[in-house]
Structure 1
Amino acid sequence: MISRRLLLTGATSGAALTIAGCTLQPRDDDTPPRLPPNEHRIVASRLTADLVLPPGPDGALATSRALLAAATAVVVIGPGAGTTTPTPATPTPTAKPARTATPAASPSAQPARPDPHLTATAAQVARDLGLPFFAWSPGLIAELDRLQTRTVIAYDAEGLDFGSREVIPGPAEAAEVSLPGLPATPPGSDGLSFAHGEIAAPTATTLAAAGLRPLGIPVPHPGADLTSTAHVRAHQGPVVAIGEGFGDDQQFATQVKVTRTAPEFPGGGVVPFPGRHMIALYGHPSTPALGMMGEQPPAAAVARLTKLVDQYKPLITDDEVMGAFEIITTVASAQAGGDGDYSHETPIEQLMPWIEAAEKAGIYVVLDLQPGRTDFLTQAKRYEELLRRPRVGLALDPEWRLRPDGRHLVSIGQVGVDEVNRVGTWLADLVQAHELPPKVLILHQFQTRMITERARLDTTRPEVQYLVHVDGQGSQGDKQNTWAAIRANLPARTWLGWKNFEDEDAPMLTPAQTVAQVRPTPQFISYQ
């Protein structure tokens, strides 16, 4: 049994003490809380704003600074021990089934360090005692000063200088520690928290010490699904996010606001994916030659799509199924046109009846760009008015992105990833500025060369969800080969789409065959 020394070292320099038995409350100012001198306490700070915390082991310091006002005892692990043992986020009840297309996982930010078992032991002892847990770093001592830390339970900390603090060698179990006030009762927290991905043990344990146990969500957005959205709408206080992909505090605060106010998708949540699949008619309003959508007026297209969606609903039972229109908004042209770009820009007034019919029926709309000799961003900006609508996304079709001297149907076009990233950044900024739900940004592709350096696709912005749409046509064997080639090495947080061609596939798959044969099940299935 490790017992308290007869004479404790005093509180660190500048820390104020008070008599035992005082009432301790969370604080939202910079005044250090008054603590009893003979008992260990953990005091939470009162949250005043939404914030994002890093998930790695160094995130424990950021978590402490944001959420703790005082911690008179802490657990510390030295630099030679394993500090990256992950703590998985608690899965939500609506977590995505394995058979469904999921975005590629982000690589771990830091390589594993030696002796992860010691990290696990230290983390468990810290949890059992209700204490924050830190990996040694240059900024740690300053944080211990601020927390008024008097006792350090140290693992693999030989040679580290903790000043005049009491240092206790880390035990194998918390039961070996006997110190007044421990185990500490977790302080009450007025915050709601979410986690995406894995959280390093020091950060997860420090969150718990502050009274927060994050709810795991499948994508980095508080409106990720039915459960998370319900929590946000029932909680009017600050919200905390832990993980990569949430953006900065301001971006996250906007996400929280949108989650509280935006209409939810079928099945819940304000984020398109995961949790639902979109079945789409593809084409142009003026002609049936470019796809099924143009074979009838808007109201009839809604009715046709509704019947198609109803065929998929019994086949995809773990997720919601909803309809979508993918409208060819700028059409590749054999003629240069007045602006010389070999692309016809459809007037907004011609698109509006289709968008209004879709919105009335709960159908998502994607504006597809075939830019010819101009660039995707120039064309996207022409339709900013439409993209400000909550359920209107964007698609880029590199097949029709020409070189300065190119002509359609002479060669297949391509686009560099930097141009794609510029569009994604612009669209994300638009979503942020106008407080919109995240938008789908589709990238059509049936050859690997069509998007050069695709590995550098920037999918870090939470305002945009990228989807690579595999447009292979012909025999089903050829289509499966294309599917496998385009799926390979998808960038992180990228979803998948599949197209059924009415005239070019041999044969075109039925809905049942599409679900059975195209694995994993695409988030977006379109018909041309």
Structure 2
Amino acid sequence: MRFSLAALSVLTLCQLTSCSTQSKDESSKTGNIAQEASAKSPAKTTPTDSSEAPAARPVAASRPSGAVSTGDSTLDSLTFAPPAGALLPKYRIFAYYGNPHSKKMGVLGKYPKDEMLKRLDEEIKNWQKADPETPILPALHLVATSAQGAPGKDGGYRMRMSDKTIKKVLKWGNDHKAVVFLDIQRGHAPLGPEMEYMTKYLKLPFVHLGIDPEFSMVTGAKPGTKIGSYDAADVNQAVKFLSKIVKENNLPPKILVVHRFTQGMIKNYKNIKLDPNVQIVMDMDGWGPPVLKKDSYLAYIQKEPVQYTGFKLFYDNDFRKPGSRIMTPAEVLALTPKPMYIQYQ
């Protein structure tokens, strides 16, 4: 039996967070999508993790002496620099997704920091065995702007994570020699200002960007009630934004991850313009049985190529249908084109 990926995914992928540590805005926000999509099992929060960082991974050199200043002493103290030049396709990026304030949003916040990072390293070993020829860079993919079920003071239906929260995850990445993605679920807010909010973080050479069409509510619907979309013009806006940061700060190319699991989430893909300063990854983001995920990858990623491709796996949701299971690394790497960005939620 065939299942609609949109029908399978829309509620589960909307399990966002009633964030509740560190920031007053994050702790007091109500009406979030997690409460609506998970009414029978409301999101639980995790305590602030103050344990020491694990030993550094020997995957990259130290920060170059000419590194750009962000204007923030805390950020400028982060010393990790990924390998020089463009990361793709020389490396495969392997990311854990989520938010440290929510156990339900993804594996990044499901476990205490040290356990999460240990699991990340163990999972990477499985993928390295499946493709020994391609080195893997670990990554943390933080939902840094979270769509919300309530409009908020400005009607944006989104909540930006606090500076403190973002810096915490950046430090995790820095200490673990992992690149970091800051993901935007814009809700009703314009994309431009949401990206501008991330500017000082994106000046760091190990920080990249993700944008999620599912929560780009161009129809005016409340996030979580409909699947949103981006047009090629929106993707081009993000590319232009990142390219400017790269050129102004003499950085290696940035990666832009664009999530997708339906035909309508990305419109006019042929009009997406490539830029040497930005590497675009179209990430197949839906959950369901392997046959459905493979079909969706073929229909929305392979048949509508942009540049590089990604694939998302779900520790919980890929098991939700009877007989379903999570795909193995070998199965994912047998896809054409072979995904260069792997994400686990």
Question: TM-score if structure 2 supplies the norm length?
Answer: 0.72
- Offset, 1:263: 4.5
Partner of 1:288, secondary structure, is coil
Partner of 2:204, secondary structure, is coil
- 1:421 maps to 236
Are 2:229 and 2:266, in contact at CA under 8 Å, matched by a contact in 1? Answer: yes
Correspondence 1:79-98 to 2 at 5 A? none
Partner of 2:326, secondary structure, is coil
- State which of 383, 403, 407 in structure 1 corresponds to 2:218: 403
- Offset, 1:318: 1.6
Q: Which amino acid aligns with 1:396?
A: I
Are 2:253 and 2:277, in contact at CA under 8 Å, matched by a contact in 1? Answer: yes
CA distance in 1, matches of 2:89, 2:179: 15
- Offset, 1:404: 5.7
CA distance in 1, matches of 2:246, 2:205: 9
Is 1:520–2:337 an aligned residue pair?
yes
- Offset, 1:383: 1.1
Q: Which amino acid aligns with 2:175?
A: K
- Offset, 1:491: 4.6
Partner of 1:301, secondary structure, is helix
Q: Which amino acid aligns with 2:302?
A: A
Are 1:278 and 1:525, in contact at CA under 8 Å, matched by a contact in 2? Answer: yes
CA distance in 1, matches of 2:82, 2:188: 38
Larger RCO, structures 1/2 (Cα 8 Å, 6+ apart) = 2
- State which of 289, 313, 316 in structure 2 corresponds to 1:500: 313
CA distance in 1, matches of 2:302, 2:279: 18
Q: Which amino acid aligns with 1:467?
A: V
Question: TM-score if structure 1 supplies the norm length?
Answer: 0.48
Structure 1 unaligned spans of 5+: 1-261
Correspondence 1:29-108 to 2 at 5 A? none
- 1:435 maps to 250
Change (3 A) 1:298 1:389: farther
Taking every aligned residue pair, what percent have the same amino acid on both sides? 25
- State which of 478, 502, 509 in structure 1 corresponds to 2:327: 509
CA distance in 1, matches of 2:167, 2:286: 30
- 2:286 maps to 472
CA distance in 1, matches of 2:168, 2:224: 31
Are 1:500 and 1:526, in contact at CA under 8 Å, matched by a contact in 2? Answer: yes
Are 2:82 and 2:206, in contact at CA under 8 Å, matched by a contact in 1? Answer: no
Correspondence 1:116-515 to 2 at 5 A? 263=81, 265=83, 269-403=84-218, 405-459=220-274, 461-491=275-305, 494-505=307-318, 506-515=324-333
> Greater CA radius of gyration, 1 or 2?
1
CA distance in 1, matches of 2:239, 2:305: 14
Partner of 1:478, secondary structure, is helix
Q: CA RMSD in A?
A: 1.7
Partner of 2:201, secondary structure, is helix
- Offset, 1:422: 1.2
- Offset, 1:525: 0.8
- Offset, 1:280: 1.0
Change (3 A) 1:476 1:277: same
Structure 2 unaligned spans of 5+: 1-79, 319-323
CA distance in 1, matches of 2:287, 2:154: 32
CA distance in 2, matches of 1:430, 1:264: 17
CA distance in 2, matches of 1:482, 1:403: 23
Q: Which amino acid aligns with 2:91?
A: R
CA distance in 2, matches of 1:263, 1:471: 28
- 2:46 maps to none
Partner of 1:317, secondary structure, is coil
Are 2:157 and 2:188, in contact at CA under 8 Å, matched by a contact in 1? Answer: yes
